Amino acid sequence: MSEPNQTPQTPQGEHAAVIPQANVSGRTAIIVIVVLLIVGAVIAVVGILHRQNAREALAAETNALAAPDVLLSKARSASPNSEIVLPGNVIAYQDAPIYARTSGYLSHWYFDIGAHVHKGQLLAVISSPEVDQQLLQARADLATAESNANYAKSTAKRYQDLLGQDAVTQQDTENFTTQAQSSNTTVKSQIANVQRLEQLTSFEEVYAPFNGVVTSRSIDIGQLIDQGAAKELFHMASTDVLRVYVNVPQIYSRDALPGTKAQLTFAEYPGRSFEGTLVRTAKSIDLNSRTLLVEVDVDNRKGDLTTGAYTEVHLKVGRPVSSVIIPVSTLLFRKEGLRVATVEHTADGDIVKLVPITIGHDDGDTVQVVSGLDPNTPIVTNPPDSVIDGEKVHVLQNPGDGKQEQGQ
């Protein structure tokens, strides 16, 4: 008999060989996947870092290009002097606009600009027919009120006499007495109204309030004049004595004493000076400019000087004055006052610092700085109007080295 079919038996050694081969293939696949993930992550990180570095480099380059290029110069010391030269503004001792106090039409004016007039002199005449008619009406009302008051007074007196004879009643007598008193009150009211209108009609004639010069005339014959400050008729200034206001730096304020003589020079009078006297001070240092406001009066009875002029005031001081000289091109005119842009070297770069200054003598090309700036301070030449305090700048040239760097 043939032997039954038997399933071939796989040797135990072959099973042992197949199973490890499958495990090895699975581990290899996992390792490959992990390696790929790591490589992908590395590539992603490298890309992100590259883009971040590119953005930072672009931002740095943008900031560097945004910083304005500036040239520097140095403030140089001036020779010590026992005199300070300060700018001053000349104004009139008395200055007043003249307005109308009544309404109407201008019928005549008598003085034009530049005319010298005396106090109380007639300047113009305003025609106000409405006010004139109101005055006539008020006077007529006053006459009526006075007549009524006289009649009421005489009637009250008769009744008081008749009352003593028991010819009239007490009540009638009191009524007429009260009526007489009321009439007197009406008369007083009408008198006040007449006086008011008389004052208004007196304002039809415009007079000079003080001795001076007519500096402006803004009216003409036939123009409608409104009462109040809507339109100025004339402008007058008293110019026999002129006031000159000067801001003296705090360091020299103790030398600005009333009675001190000062010399004034004007561009229109080269080689000539006018003597003034310091008459009063504000006795207070201004917190913004650190200066003392003083007033210098100058005699102008000859009429050589004009109001609104610029002058240089020369004041003697008790000790020599140290100052610095800077170019005019370094000045910045701001609403807070005169400034210069200095440069400070910091770890973050060159930073602008706006410094307030007080100038003395100005010869057109350079100015004398009497306070606010130290010698050899680096200052920006021709600073842009947009420069602000704390702004970064790129210095093209250091003062005194003569070397110019390449811009980025």
Cα separation, 50 vs 45, in Å, equals 8
Assessment of whether the complete model's pTM goes beyond 0.85: no
pLDDT in tens, the chain (408 residues): 444 444 445 444 444 444 456 566 777 888 888 888 888 788 888 878 877 777 776 666 565 556 778 888 888 887 777 788 888 999 999 999 999 998 899 999 999 999 999 999 999 999 998 888 999 999 999 999 888 888 888 887 877 777 777 777 777 777 878 877 888 888 888 899 999 999 888 899 999 999 999 999 999 999 999 888 888 999 999 999 999 999 988 888 888 899 999 999 999 999 999 999 999 999 999 887 788 999 999 999 998 999 999 999 998 877 676 788 898 888 888 877 788 999 888 887 888 899 888 877 677 788 888 778 888 888 988 888 888 888 888 888 655 544 444 333
Of the residues 265, 297, 321, the one at which a domain ends? 321
Residue 102 DSSP label: S
Residues 161 and 261 in one domain: no
The mean pLDDT of the chain is: 83
For residue range 233-265, list pLDDT tens digits in order: 999 999 999 999 999 888 888 888 999 999 999
Q: Write the CA distances from 126 to 85, 111, 210, integer angstroms.
A: 49, 14, 20
Of the residues 321, 355, 385, the one at which a domain ends? 321
Report yes or no on 260 lying in a domain: yes
Residues 305 and 250 in one domain: yes
Residues 104 and 228 in one domain: yes
Taking alpha carbons only, the member of 71, 63, 65, 72 closest to residue 348 is 63
Report yes or no on 366 lying in a domain: yes
Cα separation, 404 vs 329, in Å, equals 20
Report yes or no on 68 lying in a domain: no
CATH number of the domain where residue 159 is located: 1.10.287.470
Report yes or no on 361 lying in a domain: yes
Q: List the structure tokens of 392.
A: 């970064």
Report yes or no on 24 lying in a domain: no
Taking alpha carbons only, the member of 116, 360, 354 closest to residue 247 is 360
CATH number of the domain where residue 265 is located: 2.40.30.170
Residues 191 and 223 in one domain: no
Taking the CA of residue 323 as centre, how many other CA atoms within 13 Å lie in the half-sphere pointing to its CB?
A: 28
Report yes or no on 262 lying in a domain: yes
Residues 248 and 313 in one domain: yes
Residues in the chain: 408
Residues 136 and 257 in one domain: no
Residues 105 and 221 in one domain: yes
Q: List the structure tokens of 253.
A: 């304020």
Per the rule left: phi > 0, alpha: psi between -120 and 50, beta: everything else, 17 is alpha
Domain count, the chain: 4
Residues 150 and 198 in one domain: yes
Starting at the edge strand found earlier in the chain, the sheet holding 76-77 runs 76-77, 324-327, 366-371, 358-362
Of the residues 321, 353, 385, the one at which a domain ends? 321
Cα separation, 63 vs 393, in Å, equals 10
Residue 138's domain comprises 129-203
Report yes or no on 105 lying in a domain: yes
| Long-range pairs, 117-120, Cβ under 8 A, ≥24 | 117/208, 117/211, 117/212, 117/213, 117/214, 117/236, 118/208, 118/211, 119/208, 119/209, 119/210, 119/211, 120/207, 120/208
Residues 122 and 133 in one domain: no
Question: Angle formed by the axes of helices 129-164 and 170-202, to 10°?
Answer: 160
Report yes or no on 121 lying in a domain: yes
Residues 142 and 165 in one domain: yes
Q: Tell me, letter by letter, the H, E, C secondary structure of 64-96.
A: HHHCCEEEEEECEECCCEEEEEEEEEEEEEEEE
Residues with Cβ within 8 Å of 103's Cβ and at least 6 positions away in sequence, in order, are: 126, 128, 130, 131, 225, 226, 227
Residues 115 and 220 in one domain: yes
For residue range 191-236, list pLDDT tens digits in order: 999 999 998 888 999 999 999 999 999 999 999 998 888 889 999 9
Residues 331 and 224 in one domain: no
